């Protein structure tokens, strides 16, 4: 495909996954027992044979750099092109970018250096498999200036809804300051456009003080350019907050959704880690859960996701929870509706409880 990609590894719209994104950026938040959020976008791009990908970083990107490395696990460690981590500083300064246009302007040297004629600009907080080949083909066939990805879903606060005709052309855009209890066509922050048009938009954005791609980039130019939309079919979760994260994680316990994400034509690639199989003790009881490798379980697990290297000791009961890598749950603990970050130690006989609508988050490296 004649396109390169610019990925935003962090949000510029106050979209934070609670305590999980205070020690790392959004793209490197762990998900699904062994993955990071960026893995889904990278895997879809690799499936479409896009071999030139730049990842814009801003804050707390050490975890992301460690996860991505040279890009070898995604077949992106190449002499020309491949995966590049783009620094978070503006040109000739140490001022961090405050919005997407400033971030794009700060990496214009990368953009100018790319030889491809088209660019894909995308966020990394989506859990889905995107058919970029079909989206790109639709973009070319429609002779669009910009093609946006969208889904039909419940409208949440700060979503941008669109109206499209039978050919997919956008004829109306509406920014929703409040959510609605109804479904509508919502733009995802994934765009395809020509490289020279992207450069032009960046210059205009910096000149006129634009901040948001949808409000300033799409809505302001609906009558000036040919704007089209491509509909994503199938499962898609947009992770803007901790409740979105919890809900999307629990969705993985649905076999239909799990098969669509992980057993489709798009292989979800991630950093390879060699670890031993999970060991189940005589007292273990597992129900409706996802268990990664390297765990040691001698308690009861119900409706949970356990990441690599988790230990659940005898008599412990863990329900409706997400337990990340390297955690240890002591004997006779009761854990319900909890999201525990990495390397948490819970001493014996503790009772920790959140609720379905507001799971309790334990910060990384805590001892309880």
The model's pLDDT over 213-253, given as tens digits with 9 standing for 90+, comes to 888 888 888 989 999 999 999 999 999 889 999 999 999 99
Q: Which of 262, 293, 312 is the last residue before a domain boundary?
A: 262
Same domain, 68 and 158: yes
Would you put residue 57 in left (φ > 0), alpha (ψ -120 to 50) or beta?
beta
Same domain, 292 and 227: no
What CATH number does residue 325 fall under?
2.160.10.10
If one counts the domains in the chain, the total is: 2
Q: Which of 235, 262, 289 is the last residue before a domain boundary?
A: 262
Same domain, 241 and 357: no
Q: Which of 204, 231, 262 is the last residue before a domain boundary?
A: 262
DSSP conformation class of 30: E
pLDDT, position 14: 59
Q: How far apart are CA 98 and CA 11, in angstroms?
A: 10
Would you put residue 166 in left (φ > 0), alpha (ψ -120 to 50) or beta?
alpha
Asked if 258 and 252 count as a contact pair (C-beta separation under 8 A), the reply is yes
In the numeric block, which tokens belong to residue 244? 């979105």
Same domain, 183 and 311: no
**Domain-located, residue 141:** yes
Same domain, 315 and 186: no
Same domain, 71 and 100: yes
Strands 126-127, 237-238: pairing kind: antiparallel
**Domain-located, residue 18:** yes
Same domain, 181 and 320: no
pLDDT in tens, 68-112: 999 999 999 988 889 999 976 544 444 556 788 989 998 999 999
pLDDT, position 17: 81
- Where in the sequence is the domain holding 350, given as residue range(s)? 279-362
Same domain, 54 and 180: yes
pLDDT in tens, 265-322: 899 999 988 889 999 999 999 999 999 999 999 999 999 999 999 999 999 999 999 9
Same domain, 248 and 130: yes
Selection from 32, 36, 48 nearest residue 73 by Cα: 36
Same domain, 283 and 249: no
pLDDT in tens, 162-194: 999 999 999 999 988 777 778 899 999 999 999
Asked if 84 and 55 count as a contact pair (C-beta separation under 8 A), the reply is yes
Selection from 295, 326, 301, 294 nearest residue 316 by Cα: 301
Q: How far apart are CA 314 and CA 291, in angstroms?
A: 17
| Model confidence, pTM | 0.93
What CATH number does residue 190 fall under?
3.90.550.10
**Domain-located, residue 52:** yes
Find the mean pLDDT for residues 53-63: 89
Same domain, 159 and 230: yes
**Domain-located, residue 268:** no
């Amino acid at each position: 495909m004649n396109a390169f990609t610019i990925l935003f590894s962090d949000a510029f719209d106050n979209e934070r996954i609670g305590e999980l994104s205070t020690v790392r950026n959004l793209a490197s938040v762990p998900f699904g027992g062994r993955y990071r959020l960026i893995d889904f976008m990278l895997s879809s791009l690799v499936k479409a044979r896009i071999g030139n990908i730049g990842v814009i970083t801003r804050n707390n990107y050490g975890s992301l750099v460690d996860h991505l490395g040279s890009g070898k696990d995604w077949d992106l460690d190449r002499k020309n092109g491949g995966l590049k981590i783009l620094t978070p500083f503006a040109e000739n300064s140490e001022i961090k970018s405050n919005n997407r246009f400033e971030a794009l302007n700060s990496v214009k040297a990368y953009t100018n250096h790319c030889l491809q004629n088209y660019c894909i600009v995308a966020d990394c907080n989506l859990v889905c498999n995107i058919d970029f080949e079909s989206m790109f083909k639709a973009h070319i066939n429609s002779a669009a200036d910009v093609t946006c990805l969208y889904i039909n879903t419940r409208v949440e606060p700060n979503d941008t809804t669109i109206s499209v005709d039978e050919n997919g052309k956008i004829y109306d855009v509406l920014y929703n300051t409040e959510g609605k209890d109804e479904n509508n066509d919502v733009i995802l922050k994934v765009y395809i456009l020509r490289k020279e048009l992207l450069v032009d938009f960046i210059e205009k954005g910096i000149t006129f003080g634009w901040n948001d791609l949808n409000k300033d980039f799409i809505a302001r130019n609906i009558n000036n350019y040919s704007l089209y939309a491509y509909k994503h079919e199938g499962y898609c979760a947009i992770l803007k907050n901790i409740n979105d994260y919890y809900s999307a994680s629990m969705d993985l316990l649905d076999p239909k959704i799990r098969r669509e994400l992980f057993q489709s034509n798009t292989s979800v690639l991630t950093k390879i880690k060699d670890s031993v199989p999970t060991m189940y003790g005589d007292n273990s009881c597992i129900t409706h859960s996802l268990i990664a490798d390297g765990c040691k379980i001698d308690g009861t697990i119900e409706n949970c996701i356990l990441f690599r290297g988790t230990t659940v000791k005898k008599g412990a009961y863990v329900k409706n929870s997400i337990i990340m890598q390297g955690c240890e749950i002591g004997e006779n603990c009761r854990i319900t509706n909890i999201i525990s970050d990495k390397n948490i130690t819970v001493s014996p006989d503790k009772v920790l409880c959140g609720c379905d609508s507001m799971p309790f988050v334990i910060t990384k490296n805590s001892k309880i």
